[in-house]
Amino acid sequence: MQNIPQHIVLFPDGNRRWARQRGIGTLEGHKQGYNNLLDFSEWCKNKGVKVLTAFGFSTENWNRTKEEVDYLMKLLESCLIDNLSKYDKEGTRVRVIGQRERLPKSLQEAIKKTEEATKNNSNLFLNLAISYGGKWDILQAVEKIVEAKIPADKIDEKLFESYLSTAGLPSPDFIIRAGGEMRMSNFVLWQAAYSELYFSPKFWPDFTEQDLDVALAEFDKRSRRFGK
C-alpha cells in the first residue's frame, strides 16, 4: 500500500452486543474490547500509523448504570497501570483527552502516572478519549479563547485548533468504526471535517488484524481531494 493513514480514529463499538450474543455478562464484553484495543494499537504501530485516537468513554456514557460506569472506570485504570511496561517496550506515548475532573481520583492519578512515564516514547501516540465529547471539545476551546481575551479578528481555524484537546496532532486521516453503526456519535466533530470514514459490521472484540488490513486497503484506494 502506498498510503498509510498517519492518524486513525477508532470507535471500538459493539462490546456489549458481542457479550449478549455469547450469553455472557456485558462487563466481560468491555474487558475483551479493551484487550483488543491493546492489540490494535500494536498492529497500527507496526503498519506505520503514527497517531491513534480511541473512544474509551463518552460524555453520554455517564448515563449508563452505576455498576457499568464503576466497572469501566476501574477497567480504564487497570489498562493504564497494568500496561506501562508494554507501552514502554513498544515505544507508545499515551495521553488522555476529555473531562478529567469528572473522573475518579484514582483514575486521574493513573492517567498522570502513565502520561509521565511514556512522554518520551515516539513510535506511536495513543490518545484515549475518556469522558470526551466532540461538542464539549469545541465548547471548552471557545471558553479558553474567551478567557484569553483574544480579539475576534485574530481567531482563525489554526488558532482555534490550538485550543482543542487534540492540539499539536495532525487531523485524523481515517476513522474506523466497528459494530455496524454508521454515525459519528459526538466524537472529534471538528477534527473529522475531511476524514475518510470506514464502517465494519463486526463487533469490536471480533475485529482482527486482517480486518484492519482490509480497512487500510480501502483507504489506500480512496482519492482525497479536500474539495479541490
Residues marked active site are found at 13, 61
**CB within 8 A of 34, min separation 6: which ones?**
75, 76, 79
CA distance 154 to 27: 48
**Helices assigned H by DSSP within the chain:** 15-21, 26-46, 66-81, 84-90, 105-118, 134-147, 157-161, 209-221
CA distance 76 to 117: 17
**CB within 8 A of 79, min separation 6: which ones?**
34, 37, 38
